[in-house]
Amino acid sequence: MQSLLILGRQAELGLAELESLYGSGVVRAAGEQAAVVDVDPCLLAFDRLGGSVKFCKLLTTLDTNSWKDVERFLIQVAPGHSQTMPEGKMTLGLSVYGFTETIQRIEATGLTVKKAIKKTGRNVRLIPNKAHELNAAQVIHNKLTTPTGWELVFVRDGDQVLVGQTVKVQDIDAYTRRDRERPSRDTKVGMLPPKLAQIIVNLAVGQLPSEKLQNICDIPAGKPIPFNLLNKTILDPFCGTGVLLQEASLMGYHVVGTDLEPRMVKYSEKNLEWLHELYDLPDLEAVLQVGDATNFTWSVQADFVAAETYLGRPFTTMPSNEILNQTISECNLIIKKSLRNLHEQLAPGARLCLAVPAWQTRQGEFKRLPLTDQLNDLGYAEVVLASNTGRPLIYSRPDQFVARDLLILTAK
């Protein structure tokens, strides 16, 4: 059975994450904002996907891209479907991706479908569309993924329309709690969003072995993956306050974190202790040490490296060329030396994902670190994902001058 995943704000990151975990053979882009994944849905550990916001069952594909035809289809099938749902008032929501129809037009369709369902004697509530799509909060608040809820998702994909039913949405409250409620935070080292930390981990670990994936099916939603299932270790050599270590722990990895600043190592420790209590994880066994990534010798052999490296000074606006060039040289040197040091200690084939800084010069244009052209000489091969041939994977926000350039590498 195929699944339809609605991707986050930067769809290319979500797509790369899916391709990294499940392989390019079973993942394909659908329109601008979605992906179709052809694996057993129970293997899609949705909680660990930072780049997908909705997980839908793919119901059908319509050979049209006209909204009128979609509406006709809905009026035909919705009344029948409503009869198969459990008793009680049903709630209907529509989310539409890639259509140019106005929101009023989508709402009018919703009202027509509601009327058609009501004619069968069924009580139905329609969630009004404030935008083309309902967001995760609306889906959760209106209980659209419960047995009496029905969120239908329409994705325009070239000449076709994919129709899905939402089964799960991202647990926004859990992400907010992990982001805002952890005891030690420091706005100066930047705030790595937990969803981005998950993406970095997933890009670092690559395809999951299928026999391990089977066991993930048995883990209830929202529960962490036990450490003994994957039995792999992730190293973050720039761990800061530990956001990445937190997410990696919940995703079932043993973690090793080091940072130049003793204060940061303490923060990571406190935050991990808090997380272990919150999620009832076994006793904290993370290895956390003060260490300079450019010359440290780690006592544990890591299977993967995942990190948001040093990002330089946190600029809010574009600095002078001189200051920017200084910052670029400083970051380039630290990260290059760290890559050399890591290379000496990683097993050949070990995989890494490093979020290194890139600077937004104009909307959509980025100045990248010089080392991004020297990875081969540093002893690394870049992992090229089919969904993203040759283009850098850059996480950016319109209001932030410093972006994160996600390098996916294997040690040669």
Ligand X SMILES: C[S@@+](CC[C@H](N)C(=O)[O-])C[C@H]1O[C@@H](n2cnc3c(N)ncnc32)[C@H](O)[C@@H]1O
Give Cβ neighbours of residue 23 (< 8 Å, ≥ 6 apart).
207
Q: What are residue 65's phi and psi, to 5 degrees?
A: -130, 20
Give yes or no for residue 242 binding ligand X (CB under 6 A).
yes
User: Binders of ligand X among 273-292, rule CB under 6 A?
Assistant: 292
The minimum distance between CB 268 and ligand X, in angstroms, equals 8
Which CB sits closer to ligand X, 38 or 261?
A: 261
Q: Which of residues 333-392 bind ligand X (CB under 6 A)?
A: 334
199 binds ligand X (CB under 6 A): no
Q: Which is nearer to ligand X, 85 or 333 (CB)?
A: 333
Our measurement of the distance from residue 12's CA atom to the centroid of its chain's CA atoms, rounded to an integer in Å, reads 10
User: 229-235 long-range CB contacts below 8 Å, 24 or more apart?
Assistant: 232/205, 232/303, 232/304, 233/300, 233/301, 233/302, 233/303, 233/304, 234/201, 234/204, 234/205, 234/302, 234/303, 234/304, 234/305, 234/306, 235/298, 235/300, 235/302, 235/304, 235/305, 235/306, 235/307
**Is residue 190 involved in binding ligand X (CB under 6 A)?**
yes
Rounded to an integer, what distance in angstroms lies between the CA atom of residue 388 and that of residue 325?
Answer: 28
Torsion over CA of 379, 382, 383 and 384, rounded to 10 degrees? -150
Total binding residues toward ligand X, as defined by CB under 6 A: 21
Q: Is position 259 an interface residue for ligand X (rule: CB under 6 A)?
A: yes
User: Is residue 52 at the binding interface for ligand X, with CB under 6 A as the rule?
Assistant: no
| Residue 261 found at the interface with ligand X (CB under 6 A) | yes
Q: Counting contacts by CB under 6 A, is residue 407 touching ligand X?
A: no
Q: How far is the CB of 288 from ligand X (least distance, A)?
A: 12
Does residue number 293 form part of the binding site for ligand X (CB under 6 A)? yes
- Asked if 163 interacts with ligand X (CB under 6 A), we say no
**Smallest separation (angstroms) from ligand X to the CB of 398:** 20
Q: Residues 152, 311, 358, 406: which binds ligand X (CB under 6 A)?
A: 311
* Beta-bridge partners for 97: 155
Candidate ranges 19-27, 42-50, 236-244, 324-332; the one touching ligand X (CB under 6 A): 236-244
Does 230 sit near ligand X (CB under 6 A)? no
Query: E-strand spans in 260-309?
Result: 287-290, 304-308
HSE-up of residue 150 (Cα within 13 Å, Cβ side): 25
Task: Please report whether residue 192 would count as binding ligand X according to CB under 6 A.
Answer: yes
| Residue 402 in contact with ligand X, rule: CB under 6 A | no
DSSP 388: G
Residues found near ligand X in the complex (CB under 6 A): 189-190, 192, 237-238, 240-244, 259-261, 264, 292-294, 308, 310-311, 334
